[in-house]
Structure 1
Amino acid sequence: MERFTISLDESLARQFDQLIAGRGYSNRSEAVRDLIRGAIESDRQRETPAGHCVANLSYVYNHHERELAERLTGLQHDHHDLTVAAMHSHLDHDNCLESVILKGAAADVRHFADALMAERGVRHGKLNIIALEAEHHHAHDEHGEAHVHYRPAR
């Protein structure tokens, strides 16, 4: 096991101790290891997988922002081949949360999500991508047409 030392100011150390106590860690080392693992996994998630994916794009926006809701809906319609479903929730008098389920080529999903999150007025955008792998080809209809099923990559 490799050891290293970090320095924290008193306020940050106190907040960290409260966090690890609240999560039930027995010591700082265990908590730091989990934080590092989480950061590594988070960084891995930011890489766009090759092939196909399913994804959830969540974001908050102010519905009073001039024509923003129409622009967001227009983007979803322009990419109807990627947009599986959308849920809209009113957070307060001004802000809305949308969660959009996407499915398709990973590069196309990432490009669409980046464009939507870049719209002026969109806040707190987050994309969670799950890589898919082709399962098998088989026919379902009376014409013997084959198609591909995708499942989460292992």
Structure 2
Amino acid sequence: MSELTRFSVSLEADLLDAFDKYVRDGAFATRSEAIRQLLRQTLTRDAFDADDAPVTATLTIVYDHHRPHLVEKLLDVQHDHANRVIASMHVHLDHDRCMEVIVLRGPGEALRNLAAAIRGLKGVHTGTLALAGAGEPGHDHPHPHPHPH
């Protein structure tokens, strides 16, 4: 973890009151924890919007598994983008619907295009692309400990 730096921020009283409510409702340990999370979310969104910056995201879809050939098409799209699809989890919601959570990694534009291709398949009811973090996970940070992979 990097060294902490302290800085001060000036806020209007009503904005501070609203922020303190956000801290309480979010069960953050401190205001600093809430600010760190907000900064990370904003920087991740900016990296995603930059198109070429690497990000990690999830695509959560709900689809009709009775739709002819849909499962095969979903698998084909994922296999065609094997360099972007990191993992997936499949859940049976009821007799007709399944949910799949697909973990993706790559440039923001590529992930948005992949999500659009999957959401556009007939039989996919919903598809939500959510950012998880900026940067490629791996060895892009200095540290003394090994990773078992």
TM-score range, shorter chain: 0.5 to 0.7
> Does the CA contact (< 8 Å) of 2:64 and 2:98 recur in 1?
yes
How far the C-alpha of 1:105 sits from its partner, in A, is 1.2
Q: CA deviation at 1:45?
A: 5.4
Given that 1:52 and 1:131 are in contact with CA atoms closer than 8 Å, whether structure 2 keeps it comes out as: no
Aligned position for 1:37: none
Answering whether residue 49 of structure 2 is matched by residue 49 of structure 1, we say: yes
The one-letter code sitting in structure 1 at the alignment partner of 2:49 is P
Name 1:63's counterpart in structure 2.
Answer: 65
Structure 2 partner of 1:114:
116
Superposition map of 1:34-113 within 5 A: 48-50=48-50, 51-113=53-115
- Structure 2, unaligned stretches of length 5 or more? 1-11, 13-24, 26-40, 144-149
Going from structure 1 to structure 2, the CA distance change for 1:47 and 1:76 (only over 3 Å counts) comes to same
CA distance in 1, matches of 2:62, 2:45: 21
Q: What are the ranges of 5 or more consecutive residues in structure 1 without an aligned counterpart?
A: 2-23, 25-40, 139-154
Alignment check: 8 A CA contact 1:48 1:110 kept: no
Three-state SS of the structure 1 residue aligned to 2:49 is coil
Contact (CA 8 Å) 1:57, 1:101: kept in 2 or not?
Answer: yes
Percent identity, aligned pairs only, is 36
RMSD value, Cα: 3.0
- What CA distance in whole angstroms lies between the structure 2 residues aligned with 1:77 and 1:57? 15
> Contact 1:49–1:131 (CA<8 Å) still a contact in 2?
no
TM-score (norm 2): 0.58
Distance 1:47 1:57 in 2: 17
Structure of greater relative contact order (alpha carbons < 8 Å, 6+ residues apart): 2
The one-character-per-residue Cα deviations of 1:52-102 (angstroms, maximum 9, x if unpaired) are 100000010010001000000100000000000000011111100000000
Shift of 1:130: 3.8
Inter-CA distance 90–56: structure 2 relative to 1 (3 Å threshold): same
Distance 1:47 1:104, change over 3 A: closer
Aligned length: 100
- Contact 2:84–2:106 under 8 Å retained in 1: yes
Change (3 A) 1:107 1:137: farther
Pair 1:128–1:75, CA change in 2 (3 A): same
Whichever of the two has the greater Rg, that structure is 1
Give the CA deviation at 1:48.
Answer: 4.0
